[in-house]
Amino acid sequence: MIHIPTLAPEILFHIGKLPVTNTMINVWLAIIIFLIVGIVIQVNLSFRPGKFQNFFEYILELLIGYFDQVTGDRKKTMRFMPIVGSVFFFILLSNWLGLLPGTGSIKFGHDMLLRPATSDLNLTVAMALVAVISSHLFGFISVGIFTHLNKFIQIGTFIKSFKKGPIGVFTGIVELGVGLIEIVSELAKVLSLSLRLFGNIFAGEVLISVISGLVSVFIPAPFMLLEVLVGLIQASVFTMLTLVYMTILTTEPHAEH
């Protein structure tokens, strides 16, 4: 019998009133892996690194190089690195954990014990909110509260437009409308980031589940390799978009619009 994953993650048990889902198990696994790797690197940190430290330094330098191409500024890259770097590695590891043997087949009662964390819309929406809100916080810190807000609604210009006659009033109303559209576009970023990541990972999970149920073990292998690539691409897209948002919102406006 083929098990098709549902949109909502399955609740395995409760801790008090907190429902624990199979996607939460994968999140905890990812956090534990990050914790172990971080402790190992910290304990063995050396000016003469071994292969383990060299590997992660190479990956980090590779990421910094790509991020520099987006920000155009090494200082901005290093400033954003704790957030966007964590987002990239977390999404990548979460996606790849969903491809481990046993994911989708090991049962806890009647439900799957493990499920890709990013196939849970709750998680992707939360991550999208963190990405968008943090980009605005960086904007407030970098260019100032009023300068940042003026990128959306120029309150001072709107008030002054009433002194310029009917044309000025009309222009002020139009600019206010454009500002409101900009605010809506910021909300749309959350939907775009969360639904793109959720949709691609969930679709891949369904595809592998169906193929694995219909054919032998060897046929789904190419599709699983494809999902490895998809997991990397989706982590890169989410991270790069977050970096773009942060870069744009921390840039001083060149002129008053």
Q: How confident is the model at residue 20 (pLDDT cuts 50, 70, 90)?
A: confident
* Among candidate residues 181, 189, 185, the one with its CA nearest the CA of residue 127: 189
Question: What tokens were used for 134?
Answer: 């943090």
Average pLDDT rounded to a whole number, residues 110-117:
75
Q: Which residues of 133-171 are buried (b: 16+ CB within 10 A; e: fewer)?
A: ebbbebbeebbeeeebbbbbbbeebbeebeeeeeeeeee
Average pLDDT rounded to a whole number, residues 160-175:
68
- 11-15 and 107-108: which strand pairing? unpaired
3-state secondary structure 3-21: CCCCCCCCEEEEECCEEEE
User: From CA 101, how far away is CA 129, in angstroms rounded?
Assistant: 31
CA-based max dimension of the chain: 76
pTM value is 0.79
User: From CA 43, how far away is CA 66, in angstroms rounded?
Assistant: 28
pLDDT tens for each residue of 26-79: 889 889 999 998 898 888 888 887 888 888 889 999 999 999 998 888 999 999
- Torsion-angle region of residue 253: left (phi > 0), alpha (psi -120 to 50) or beta? beta
**Is residue 7 predicted with pLDDT exceeding 70?**
no
pLDDT for position 159: 62
Question: What tokens were used for 124?
Answer: 């992707």
User: From CA 106, how far away is CA 82, in angstroms rounded?
Assistant: 34
**Is residue 257 predicted with pLDDT exceeding 50?**
no
CA atoms within 13 A on the CB side of 53: 12
pLDDT for position 32: 92
Q: How confident is the model at residue 80 (pLDDT cuts 50, 70, 90)?
A: very high
**Taken in order 151, 155, 160, 166, is the CA torsion positive or negative?**
positive
- For residue 182, the tally of other CB atoms under 10 A from its CB is 12
The SS3 of residue 113 is coil
Average pLDDT rounded to a whole number, residues 212-223:
59
Q: Are 5 and 209 in contact (CB under 8 A)?
A: yes
The total number of residues written for the chain in this structure: 257
